[in-house]
Structure 1
């Protein structure tokens, strides 16, 4: 069993309780030394992080390191995507860095949009997928129904409330006639654990997944073609803040609105954090090392006035 799944499962368990323990982010604090001290920004910041979404976890740790160097006091709070959106809308979190638009998280934006501020996309290469082991007998989702037995008649999904889960249930399954297959949903760590186990056992498996994700480097897997376009086109990964964020954090707002990170850089950060023996307690050190190796890029993220 890969060490990261032990870590991910623990994170998921803690994250389910995150909203109960998250702190309010609206309090003013005495500004420490650093750039935050020379602006009107508040210095206490809480970032909501989705359980099991590595791109958001990676950039949240990156921004935590950057902002603490600038004089902010940053907390990362884990929860599933729905509770994070609710928490941002309710002011329990200040911002989340992993909003997939226009499709995956559209329902959350519709539900909570009046209390959210979209600060823009920092990566435009996000795609939803169905992935299989590299030596699976099919190459397209349209072949899956006729080969369901080869996959144990199961599609392994993630959280029931996830946008990817909704797209699979509402679009992929009816379009390709997969109603006879069992669609299993639980959590992203559970899906990854099943994927790992099937790969180790040499068994076929089909899972709901997305790019960018470290699993594509960790496991011999590939995407199934989606000729009907049921999972949509590439999406943007957006920073989503609470209302009032722009007034409370004008400098940080400018930085996040200008934030861009291409997939190659993102993959390198994810690989450093997740394709190693690092545990969550190691992430600050791992990120610090990555920053030192990409200093020019990192410095550019806070160059916007």
Structure 2
């Protein structure tokens, strides 16, 4: 089982860069638009506080000890939270399998009961179509993150505080914005919204790849030089490098979304304590970025051993796990 899980994640990482070019299939590839209003009598997915239904979870009490967790290819946080949950449940005597899917087939598997839960639904925009299609056959298990967004980011000691400062600071940043893949929603949002909104036409927007952007970010921060990149949250770069987001007073990069967990229909009755554990989950930027950094950056495990990476993180963050079980993260 361990070998199967490792192969699953390795395959996911192999397609991750490719998925960036498919708008809507990765966090960097999402399309930003105005959030749809909730239908009459429907759920307002913007109305959620992470961990709002928290309570103590006695996960050892559930009789069913075999759990399958879905994770979505191209979405690092999906594998981070899946393997973290696996670690906690296996410590309580469960047998856990993490299965990788493209987002569409993943929702199909969830609705058909082939997996027990997945913890990476972006709402109210990115995954709304999947909820419209499968919402009657899956159970909401709360939101755990409320800052999923596209950004323009700079080195921590950079002079600019806002995107609005950039037109007067072209020379400070070498006249360059370092971007990612041409087909990514982040690239489109920067090109079609941020640049015209803030008058950034004097900058050379270098559209390349995520690894190339990260290499520029690392090179500049190592050399204590100013740098301007397109980025998104959640991402491990916020833990690996001294980087911060620029304020976006015009909202040109789009609003932040929430990340929800969903379970197969009936899971809350069959595994009420594990379902409660999932509802208890809350990740802030600092904890999430640090876990992703250990799991995915070349300086650590580089995606090669997710279980060992998570075990290392848990060893340094046992208080987080204890609070999670106790429902005290919110």
TM bracket (short chain)? 0.5 to 0.7
When residues 50 and 287 of structure 1 are mapped into structure 2, their CA distance, relative to the original with a 3 A threshold, is: same
What is the TM-score when the length of structure 2 is the normalising length? Answer: 0.63
State whether residues 280 and 324 of structure 2, in contact with CA within 8 Å, keep that contact through their aligned partners in structure 1: yes
Residue 99 of structure 1 deviates from its aligned partner by 3.2
Q: Which residue of 2 aligns with 1:195?
A: 217
State whether residues 126 and 235 of structure 1, in contact with CA within 8 Å, keep that contact through their aligned partners in structure 2: yes
1:160 aligns with 2:183: yes
Q: Which residue of 2 aligns with 1:277?
A: 300
Q: Would you tell me which structure has more helix in proportion to its own residues?
A: 1
CA RMSD, aligned part only? 4.1
State whether residues 123 and 262 of structure 1, in contact with CA within 8 Å, keep that contact through their aligned partners in structure 2: yes
Q: Which residue of 1 aligns with 2:123?
A: 101
1:62 aligns with 2:84: yes
Q: Which residue of 2 aligns with 1:208?
A: 230
1:91 aligns with 2:106: no
CA distance in 2, matches of 1:190, 1:265: 25
Secondary structure of 1:260's match? coil
1:75 aligns with 2:87: no
1:51 aligns with 2:74: yes
Flag as ranges the 4+ runs of structure 1 deviating above 6 A: none
State whether residues 193 and 252 of structure 2, in contact with CA within 8 Å, keep that contact through their aligned partners in structure 1: yes
CA offsets 1:231-285 (integer angstroms, 9 cap, x no match): 3555433224566765776554332123223445435534554575334334322
Secondary structure of 1:281's match? coil
CA distance in 2, matches of 1:76, 1:152: 43
What is the TM-score when the length of structure 1 is the normalising length? Answer: 0.67
When residues 179 and 17 of structure 1 are mapped into structure 2, their CA distance, relative to the original with a 3 A threshold, is: closer
* Equivalent residue pairs, number: 270
1:291 aligns with 2:314: yes
Residue 191 of structure 1 deviates from its aligned partner by 2.9
Q: Which residue of 2 aligns with 1:13?
A: 14
Residue 115 of structure 1 deviates from its aligned partner by 1.3
Q: What are structure 1's unaligned runs of at least 5 residues? A: 1-7, 19-33
